[in-house]
Each structure stands twice: as C-alpha cells, then as structure tokens.
Amino acid sequence: MLRASLPLGFAAALLTLSACDTAPGPASGLNDAPTVSGLSVSPTLVYRDDLTVTNNRVRIPLTASATVSDPENRLDSVLLVVENPATTSTGGALPPLVRLPMTASGGQYTATASLNLAAAAYGGYRVLVVAKDKDGRLGEALALLSYDVRGQAPTVSAATATVSGQSVTVVATVSDPDGLADVTRVEAVPASDPNGGNTFVLFDNGQGVDETANDGRYTARFEVQGSGTLRLLVRAYDRAGLKSADVLVEARVGS
C-alpha cells in the first residue's frame, strides 16, 4: 500500500533492491513469530538446606523477566512455564509444574511463581518464557533452575589396609547423613604428600576386589614398590563437594 503511493521510479528502485537481496526468502514481516530475549530467572541454584521442608515438600519462590516483542504487535499471551521433568509410566509428558501469565510493563514481562516440589526431587528444571501471537506463532526462551542439597559431609568410620606381598588392599566404611548415594568419591592419598596427585580410588561397586556393591564398604587394591610403612589418608566426598575428615591407615610392606 505504501509502495502504491510512491512515484513509479522509486517503486522500481525498491524492486531492484529487493531483487539484489542474496537470500530474500519468503515475504518477511507478514506473520513473524514473537521474540523472547534477555530472559532472567532468579534463583538459578537452590539448596534444600536453605528451604523449609513441610510434609516432605519444599516451595521455591521463583521470579522471571524477559523482553518480548512481536513484529506485528499481535502478541496474544506470554507465559512462564516450568516443565515437569518426570514422565508418565509410558514416557509421556506431564502437565507443567508452573504455567502462569506474565505481567507486561512496556516490552518487559515479569512473573513471580512458587515452585512446589517433593523435598528429594533434586535435579535441573527447565524454565521457559513462551510468547504466542494471535496467529498461533510461538517464541520462547529457556533458562535452567537447579535444585540440590548441600547436606552434611560424609564420614569415614573405619579404614584398614592389609598387605599380601606387594599388594595392598584398603577397605573403608563410609556413610553420609544424606544417604550413601550422595557419596561421589572415596580415595586414599599418601599421608606424606596428600596433595601430590597420587591417589587411589576406592569403589563400592561389587566389582573385582569390592565384595558387595553399595554396602558402604569401599575397596581398592594396588601394588607398591619396595618396603617400609605405608601411611595413607582415606577421605570421602559428596555431591556438594563436602569432604569427610581424613582417616589414617598404616600398613607394613615388604620385609
């Protein structure tokens, strides 16, 4: 319509310019999807330790803001969505945990939600701002909220080293108030040089020298050279990076 009102010569120039476009594609601006940018979600990391647990559930207050625009100014809805990472028994999607209209102020959209989770439902949660225009076109932006537990450090309650020839077997009993599954690593390091990078990893996987999987008794077997008294510090770490106290084990190797 604008072009029809222009002098003929100018219209021809516009057509020429348009023809020079290397990738003109379909006509743009007629029915474009909304754009969502600058999504900001707070918080992005929450520890259960900082929340109140009621009836084995927690509530995480969540605020989100994003800039939303639609090329034709035909915006229909802007929603804050937190997807449910769980699925049905057949692998289907479950309704979102949060689905909330966002409030507009200029092109800025904000919402405050309360995410209600089982206290032990640790994991990553997809937070989306979904904008829809009146033609049904969608635009969205994604952020991630991590829910975890800091908990308490694991404990090494007993550790032994037994020697057979040059072969040393270390067994350590480890527990964690947050459950054995919270323990990520058990290791023995030389007491003389604990940070020297020379570590032996103990496993509780029931494989090889470890007799029973997941019984909290972690085991490693390794060969040493020469003779003398071997001094090792045994320690455990959990998912939050919390470390147990060191437990010293000693073993006499060689004659």
Q: Is 50 an interacting residue with respect to Ca ion (CB under 5 A)?
A: no
Among 70, 133, 140, 176, binds Ca ion (CB under 5 A): 176
CB closer to Ca ion, 70 vs 176: 176
Binding mask 7-46 for Ca ion (x = CB under 5 A): ----------------------------------------
* Pairing, β 35-42 against β 217-223: unpaired
- C-beta nearest to Ca ion: residue: 238
Instruction: Decide: helix, strand or coil at residue 97.
Output: coil
Residue whose structure tokens are 């969205």 = 140
Strand 167-175's sheet: what is its strand order? 155-164, 167-175, 217-223
- HEC string of 67-133 equals EEECCCCCEEEEEEEECCCCECCCCCECCCCEEEECEEECCEEEEEEEEEEECCCCEEEEEEEEEEE
Nearest-approach distance from CB 236 to Ca ion, in angstroms: 9
Q: Is 182 an interacting residue with respect to Ca ion (CB under 5 A)?
A: yes
- Helices (H) and strands (E) in the chain — how many of each? 1, 16
CB closer to Ca ion, 70 vs 238: 238
Q: Is 151 an interacting residue with respect to Ca ion (CB under 5 A)?
A: yes
Q: Is 133 an interacting residue with respect to Ca ion (CB under 5 A)?
A: no
Size of the site for Ca ion (CB under 5 A): 10
Round to whole Å and give the CA distance between 169 and 223: 9
Cα dihedral 215→176→249→218 (10° resolution): 30
Residues 216-235 that bind Ca ion (CB under 5 A): 217
CB closer to Ca ion, 74 vs 221: 221
Q: Is 187 an interacting residue with respect to Ca ion (CB under 5 A)?
A: no
Among 238, 244, 247, 249, binds Ca ion (CB under 5 A): 238
CB closer to Ca ion, 185 vs 217: 217
